[in-house]
Structure 1
Amino acid sequence: MTADPLSSPLLATLPPPRKLTPDDLTACLALGEDRGWSREEHKWRLLLTAGQGYGIDAPDRPGELIAAYVLTTYADAYACVSMVLVARRHARRGIGRHLMRHALDSSGTAALFLQATENGRPLYERMGFRPVGTTTMLTGPFSPPPYEATGAAARTSVRPASAADLRAVLALDAEVFGTDRTELLTRLPAFSDRFVVAEDPAGALTGFAARWPNGPTDVFGPVVAEDLATAQALVTELAVDARDRVRFDVDARHPEWERWLRAGGLSGDFRCTLMVHTAADIPGDISRRFAPYSVALG
């Protein structure tokens, strides 16, 4: 008979996860590598400053973590759970459930959402999360194919973002994302390699997009645009000096966008399930949200 992992001696003695700081970066990277993740140092630095990391110290290995996750809260209305990790030597002992209970308790009245792998989805379903969509990761060399722009999109121009654009970027994002992301977006100029905006002939902002480094890969996101052609114009500009390997995370509700990206050379079938807790869906307007900041952030 298999023992109930929730009654394991280790779990019975575990303390609540403690708050992590940027000083815990090395331990977070090591925990990720233990589970086969690449060293995403640049992303972890953002998550540990813009969000709140939580971790459980290894009782027998000072300076190491046996588990961790990050909770990023948006205006106390929604919160994203990400980077849920349990050390390989302590897997399948109920620690993942321990972390998620802590996340639910720590989020207060905020509705939680997350991107679940196939391995993690059963746990989240047992915790009350339900699926509302899927995201596919596309990677590879990318050469933007031609696209057709008509109407207002045909008169759109794309240029590098400046400090003067921040207020308009925040306003558009609040409308499209559905809640306030000021903490993250004000970090975008320093976090990204390139940050561009689209505007109509009158100078009104119609979209913005960024590209940031993640190891040997350039990640494109966020991409927020009034329509598909504007998103294509933004990404075409970002691709000009991108590295040979890029990554897009594409929501299944954007099939035309995915076809265009694949036509440019990207491929992949690794999917995550977007799941929410105590909400009908994530907020905002998916029709204008073409790429997340990161799947760890929404």
Structure 2
Amino acid sequence: MTPLIERDLRPQDAEAAWTLSIEAGWNQNVADWRFMLTHGKALGVVDDTGTWVASALALPLGARLSWLSMVLVTQAQRRRGLGTALLKRCLAHVEARGAAAGLDATELGRPVYLPLGFRDLYRIPRWHIDRAGDPVPPPADVLLRPMLEADLVRVSTFDVARSAMERGYILAHLRTRRPDLAWIAERDGRVAGYAVGREGRAATSIGPIVADEEGIGLALASRALAAAPGPFLMDVPDTHDEVARWLRAAGATSPRAFVRMLRGALPGLERDRHIIALAGAELA
């Protein structure tokens, strides 16, 4: 049996670890890995050649929450408990911080997380979009404009009040990385919604989008999708029927879904009314 060694994953390991998500068919690119490894606690396993064969990561979203993701095991090393062992190590790190743990589970991953104390919050279909749908104007009293660096403090304050996640550093990273996808909605000079996104390995990911009303969120999604060529991915809680109808009309399909799950307590995380689109399973 090949000897395996557990190690911390560090930012300089981003390109080597990327092969794990490529093998799984996931959409992350090297920039995603480098960002998560810079800001999160990541563990991995290497074989005797120094190749990464498993990973897991906990990304802090304020003092009360960490987001778990990138639980990956290469095909040849599966069914040896590597992914579960790394996940438990990340959970121990989160517990030591006194924080709750959240994640977005695939259909295959959910049965693994339930016995570990996670519970379901809501379902999130993943939409595959080849092109932007028909333009959607915002409500008459709402202005859409590109998001500026100077908007980030207000946007982050707006976001935490509606998402329960303290992720201002993620929003700043995404706005800097793809300013063409970053939009803000204002009503009477106050933030009423925002959208950001990023390029991925195979598709552009649109989200998070957070808005006071679904109509505002849909207008933001329309503007962001129109700003770049497809294809796109967009994770939309299944309570947003208006957004789903618009996506279907544009020919989008939703072949699979995630389930948002939580271990511990974080009031407000279960509310999806204002969460029009997620940042993807790895960035919440």
Normalised by the size of structure 2, how large is the TM-score? 0.90
Match for residue 111 of structure 1 among 97, 100, 125: 100
Tell me what 2:41 maps to. Answer: 52
Q: Distance in 1 between matches of 2:164 and 2:267?
A: 11
- 1:128 to partner: Cα distance: 1.9
Partner of 1:165: 151
Runs of 4+ with deviation above 4 angstroms: 146-149
> Distance between the aligned counterparts of 2:24 and 2:156, measured in 1?
36
Larger Cα-atom Rg: 1
- For 1:93, the equivalent position in structure 2 comes to 80
- Aligned partner (choices 18, 24, 29) of residue 35 of structure 1: 24
Aligned match of 1:260:
246
In 2, distance between residues paired with 1:281 and 1:122? 24
Report the equivalent of 1:209. Answer: 195
- In 1, Cα distance between the equivalents of 2:234 and 2:27? 17
Contact 2:174 2:197 in 1 (8 A): no
Counterpart secondary structure, 2:280: coil
Q: Is the 8 A contact 1:176 1:284 kept in 2?
A: no
Q: Distance in 1 between matches of 2:172 and 2:208?
A: 13
TM-score normalized by the length of structure 1: 0.86
Whether the 8 Å CA contact 1:69–1:85 is kept in 2: the answer is yes
What is the total number of aligned residue pairs between the two structures?
281
Distance 1:97 1:223 in 2: 31
Which amino acid is 1:103 matched to?
C
Q: Distance in 1 between matches of 2:278 and 2:135?
A: 23
Identity of aligned residues (%): 28
Alignment partners' CA distance in 2, 1:38 and 1:229: 28
Q: Using the TM superposition, give the Cα deviation of residue 289 of structure 1 relative to its aligned residue in structure 2, in angstroms.
A: 1.1
Alignment of 1:183-222 (within 5 A): 183-194=169-180, 195-200=182-187, 202-222=188-208
Question: CA-to-partner distance for each residue in 1:236-272, whole Å, 9 max, x for gaps?
Answer: 2212232131111011122222222222221122112
Give the Cα separation in 2 of the matches to 1:37 and 1:293: 14
Compared CA separation, residues 122 and 176, structure 1 to 2 (3 A): same
* Long gaps (5+) in structure 2: none
Coordinate RMSD, CA, aligned: 2.3
| Distance (whole Å) between structure 1 residues aligned to residue 143 and residue 24 of structure 2 | 43
Whether the aligned pair in 2 keeps the contact of 1:207 and 1:231 (CA below 8 Å) is yes
1:136 aligns with 2:125: yes
Q: 1:143 to 1:185 in 2, by over 3 A?
A: closer
Match of 2:264 in 1: 278
> Are 2:214 and 1:228 equivalent residues in the alignment?
yes
* CA contact 2:42–2:57 (8 Å) conserved in 1: yes
- Runs (5+) with no aligned partner, structure 1: 1-8
